[in-house]
Amino acid sequence: MQQVIEENKTKKLGSFERAFASKFAKSMFLSLFGLFILSLIGTRMFTHIDLNLYGYMVGTLVFLGGFFYRFISWGERPPTKIILKKGIKLLFRKSTPKTSVEHLGTYRFIWNRGFYRWAQHMFIGWGCILAILVTFPLVFGWMYFTMDENGMYTVVAMGMDLIQIKADGIIAWFSYNALNISAVMVITGVCMALYRRLKNMQARAEQTFIYDFLPLYLLLLVSITGLLLTVQNVFLHGFGQPTMSLIHQFSVIVTLIYLPFGKLAHIPFRPMSVFAKNYREHYGEQGMKECKVCGTHFVSIEQSDDVRDVLGQNAMNFDMNDGFNLAELCLPCRRKYRISRFSGVPTHEFKVKEANQNAKG
């Protein structure tokens, strides 16, 4: 009986899967359907819709399409499949909350690279997160404000009256200026990043305009035009605001469309780093792999075996005539072994560490 039930579940799941042309189509449909339901609830059956935010909504939907396309194509790669499958199984490790805070909240992993780089990432990262937490609920109608005759604002969240606040109170002030605060944070972080990339010789040699500088300029354009809207409203009595509103909306939409396909894609992909950290820590505790040349414990046995399996799936064989696989060497020995193949000198056997072998960050 149990077997029949399981077979029926499998058939139903299979028919659902066949209803879509691809995983991308299924993911997009489920996401848009979920957004539709949430907006239906949040706007009280679409009775509270701000048409001024329509352009941002379209840009967000295009962003979701690009994100799922990029994520699914990335997730189908053999190395990524391993991290995702094993990472999900390890999601409930005791260390997961701590790892999540360090990777997604405090950016402690960047602290090793220096305070300056940590600060710029904190400003950009949390500035963008704050802007998203404010913008998306407003765009899809999950949150909005109504004013009563007594001069009090009512905060409505998901169709329910949440709280009443004074129009000139501290909560209202932070609500009005949340996007301004996020804009100042992003501008500060972007300026720090630009200064470093223009002054640091190594960074200048490695950076390209399209991949490294364009994302920063887009964030700068979004933030500056957003602040200018407030300046025009407060100090210029709305002069030029319609034009600036269109420029700001255009900059936001372009940034959202670009985001999944450029360097900024690591922002929505960042939670995957928790999976990777859990994977390394869990299997590292079970057993470490010794480098075949220097004997250093450089990676877990599980990860070493996974690397060899992935290489095999891609018909890539790195078995050397010396009796080991290239994946069984630590990174410094691997580099020295490659040199030995060109020079004919067994440089990988020299027991000398590289100057930056144990460098942090």
Q: What is the pLDDT of residues 200-258, one digit of tens each?
A: 777 777 788 888 889 999 999 999 999 999 999 888 888 888 899 999 999 999 999 88
Please state, as a whole number, how many other Cβ atoms lie within 10 Å of the Cβ of residue 135: 18
* Phi–psi pair at 319, nearest 5 degrees: -75, 120
> Residue 359: which residues within 8 A CB-CB, separation 6 or more?
none
Average pLDDT, the chain: 82
Asked whether 141 and 42 are in contact (CB, 8 A), the reply is: yes
Beta strand segments in the chain, E: 143-147, 152-157, 160-166, 288-290, 297-300
Please state, as a whole number, how many other Cβ atoms lie within 10 Å of the Cβ of residue 307: 19
DSSP-assigned states of every residue in 109-138: HHHTT-HHHHHHHHHHHHHHHHHHHHHHHH
Spell out a b/e string for 98-122, using b for 16 or more CB atoms within 10 Å of the CB, else e.
ebbebbeeebeebbeeeeebbbbbb
Nearest Cα neighbor of 289 from 299, 280, 281 is 299
Q: Which two tokens stand for residue 249?
A: 């909306």
Asked whether 174 and 188 are in contact (CB, 8 A), the reply is: no
Q: Are strands 160-166 and 152-157 parallel, antiparallel or unpaired?
A: antiparallel
Instruction: Give me the residue label for tokens 């009005």.
Output: 176
pTM over 0.75: yes
In the prediction, which pLDDT does 349 show? 59
Asked whether 142 and 60 are in contact (CB, 8 A), the reply is: no
pLDDT digits (tens, 9 = 90+) for 159-188: 888 888 888 888 888 888 899 999 999 999
Query: Residue 270: which pLDDT band, with cuts at 50, 70 and 90?
Result: confident
How far, in Å, CA of 48 to CA of 34, rounded?
A: 18
Q: Which two tokens stand for residue 265?
A: 């894609």
3-state secondary structure at position 191: helix
Locate the domains of the chain by residue range.
1-46, 108-272, 287-349
Q: Which two tokens stand for residue 262?
A: 């450029």
Q: What value does the mean pLDDT take over residues 54-75?
A: 85
Nearest Cα neighbor of 299 from 325, 317, 318 is 325
